[in-house]
Amino acid sequence: MNTDFLYHQAVGLLKGKIAIPALSGNERAAADYLSAYLTSADVAHFRVGNNICAYSPRNKEGQKLLMLTSHIDTVKPAAGYARNPFEPVVADGKLFGLGSNDAGAPLVAMIQSFVYLSAVDLPFNLLLALSCEEETSGANGMQRVVQEITDVDCAIVGEPTGMRAAVGERGLLVLDGTAQGAVGHAARDEGVNAIYTAIDDMAYIKNYTFDRVSPLMGAVKKTVTIVHGGTQHNVIPDVCTFTVDVRPNECYTPNEIVELLQSGVKSRLQARALDHKCSFTPPQHPLLRCAQRLAIETYISPTTSDWVRLRVPAVKMGPGSSARSHTADEFVCLHEIKDGIATYIRFVEALACVW
């Protein structure tokens, strides 16, 4: 398979995308750019808001549907950028720029793979879905796509994994804690210090042990990531807020986790969402058999993606490294894009032998 042309097209496409800010919730210009590219490549497609969808012209009625999906949006540039995050620069075999790695490389590799596979007769149908608002779990992203397209049977989710195949991913539960106290003067031992209450509660959460450990995902993970309290040095604070990042396993529902933690703290815990549950694909599913057939390493991902909104068996796989995501001076290695295209194509063609 000669993927040189597809690779050069992908790199050019990614350079153009990096130059267009696509912060989550503001993807219209980037979506327009990608839509124009698909039109120039003779790929018929349609928009669902700022999401872009395309069916292979070789799809046949009655066949199952495989979705290839990655996301258009990016996070805000991290502090410490030495480069212009919106200026694509190639140096030392790397392409620098915001979103180059997460998820620009998987996105363009998946687009080029779809272009190639649209000329191949497959025993299943193919759908390309480029989503918006993935980074913020927005209501106008993949949630909107799955309301329009309800017949997806399984998916390949494009995220930077080093082309390893994540066969499951932890859920995400974000808790906002509020400790209440009473205002007083710091010099007169008055009031009730909300910061001290929050400290006790955060220590309880840190040390709490969830007994049910998953053989697949391990124990529930939890980390306090944000704390705010106090207004003046001489005033006892009556409010202290904190945020807890919880990564559940499949042994607990989000509601159970909230109830267990709430029962041991004085602060009020409020979940931002309760629907970001764990995802995993059954061991004998064709996607996993395909990964085994190609000797692709499988693992459980600690991070979430649009998979949580699909609710179908999937593998999460793409060029780039998760460790580079959301970092200053983000980059992707050019060879990773080329390898990603070749692996996506090999994976889908191998899937045709087992599904």
- In residues, how long is the chain? 355
Residues 266 and 285 reside in one and the same domain: no
Domain with 252 in it: 173-271
Domain-ending residue, one of 271, 286, 304: 271
Q: Indicate whether this model's pTM tops 0.85.
A: yes
Residue 181 maps to which CATH number? 3.30.70.360
Residues 154 and 198 reside in one and the same domain: no
CA quadruple 214, 226, 142, 157: dihedral positive or negative? negative
Contact partners, residue 331, CB within 8 Å, separation at least 6? 94, 95, 96, 97, 100, 101, 324
CA–CA separation, 152 and 173 (whole Å)? 26
Token pair 């061991």: residue: 283
Residues 218 and 199 reside in one and the same domain: yes
Residues 313 and 246 reside in one and the same domain: no
| H or E stretch covering 343 | helix 334-354
Residues 233 and 163 reside in one and the same domain: no
Residues 14 and 74 reside in one and the same domain: yes
Query: Which is it for strands 279-280 and 165-169: parallel, antiparallel or unpaired?
Result: antiparallel
Residues 25 and 116 reside in one and the same domain: yes
Residues 156 and 136 reside in one and the same domain: yes
Beta carbons of 52 and 130 less than 8 angstroms apart: yes
Residues 138 and 252 reside in one and the same domain: no
Give, for all 355 residues of the chain, the pLDDT tens digit. Answer: 678 999 999 999 999 999 999 999 999 999 999 999 999 999 999 999 999 999 999 999 999 999 999 999 999 999 999 999 999 999 999 999 999 999 999 999 999 999 999 999 999 999 999 999 999 989 999 999 999 999 999 999 999 999 999 999 998 999 999 999 999 999 988 999 999 999 999 999 999 999 999 988 899 999 999 999 999 999 999 999 999 999 999 999 999 999 999 999 999 999 998 988 899 899 899 999 999 999 999 999 988 999 999 989 999 999 999 999 999 999 999 999 999 999 999 999 999 999 9
Residues 234 and 122 reside in one and the same domain: no
Q: How many domains does the chain have?
A: 2
